A = this chain, B = another copy of it.
């Protein structure tokens, strides 16, 4: 019986092989190795491998697709860091800081093509199907990222628009991991659809938990400073609801405070008064329940099911 941690370990082992990436030109491949080596939970490859195995096919058959989805995920992080001008990720300098911006852009481009090549490692018919799914997923991720950027300069974003944005930006890639794993296992259409729905709902819970933790997380375990989203005025589920419901003058006064800590405290107080902390938790629980309902529709061993239940619950209750 393979656990989620075991899948992650096998995956990490696979991408640590010395011949995993070409050596040359170093300027192109070193940043890729650096990005992939930064760790993380490996949620997407683990889901992909576990789905393949749960639906009756040896997960080793899906290692190419697992590499592809993680390569793509890290490509989006790499280019997002350039777009956001972020200096740090996972406690290390971002690629465009450690090298430079041109390197970050070009290595990211190469990661997208490499992702495609890994996704396509299968026999011809399957290869096309996997690539088509992957490309549709990728387009949705870009759409989500574009909406996210559009929202920065809009003051009339609705909660529904926000949920659609995170569905595209986060949900679809997690769902895509499940669907690609199911596709390698040549699963039935209804199993594919249910695993997709599991992934979408889990992704929504995952992203909302990110929003929640950034404001209401425990500073001792969160890993970065609490209140970053508030400090930079990021339009999260919490802020969008507050913009709809709070006293406009009071919220705008809180948001324009110069002192970082005072601003975070003032906005957080408004969130609490609107009960947004509990309402966010309740929404996260809703999505988690829907993910588990979708999972119930798929026949699999109890051991396999336990992995998906664990991952969905972890996404929703993690504290960092």
Q: A79, B109: Cβ atoms under 8 Å?
A: yes
Q: Which B residues are in CB contact (< 8 Å) with A301?
A: none
Which residues of A (104-133) have their CB < 8 Å from a CB of B?
A: 105-106, 108-110, 112-114, 116-117, 120, 124-125, 127-129, 131-132
Determine the main DSSP class of A at the interface with B: helix
- Interface status of A135 (Cβ within 8 A of chain B): yes
Which residues of A (73-90) have their CB < 8 Å from a CB of B?
A: 75, 79, 82-84
- Tell me which of B25, B79, B135 contacts A117 (CB under 8 A): B135
Interface residues on A, range: 35 or more
Q: A106, B83: Cβ atoms under 8 Å?
A: yes
Q: Which B residues are in CB contact (< 8 Å) with A57?
A: none
Task: Give Cα A172–Cα B85 distance, bound, in whole angstroms.
Answer: 33
- Tell me which of B79, B103, B113 contacts A106 (CB under 8 A): B79
- Interface status of A138 (Cβ within 8 A of chain B): yes
Q: Which B residues are in CB contact (< 8 Å) with A120?
A: 128, 131-132, 135
Q: B116, A146: Cβ atoms under 8 Å?
A: no
Q: Which B residues are in CB contact (< 8 Å) with A139?
A: 110, 113-114, 117
Hey, which bits of chain A sit against chain B, CB under 8 A?
Answer: 25, 27-28, 75, 79, 82-84, 101-103, 105-106, 108-110, 112-114, 116-117, 120, 124-125, 127-129, 131-132, 135, 138-139, 142-143, 145-147, 149-150
List 10 tightest A-B contacts by C-beta distance, closest first.
Answer: A83-B102, A28-B146, A25-B146, A124-B128, A110-B142, A113-B138, A127-B128, A117-B135, A27-B146, A124-B125
Q: Which B residues are in CB contact (< 8 Å) with A101?
A: 82-83
Q: B150, A131: Cβ atoms under 8 Å?
A: no
Q: Which B residues are in CB contact (< 8 Å) with A79?
A: 105-106, 109
Task: Give Cα A211–Cα B269 distance, bound, in whole angstroms.
Answer: 63
Q: Which B residues are in CB contact (< 8 Å) with A82?
A: 101, 105
Q: B109, A146: Cβ atoms under 8 Å?
A: no
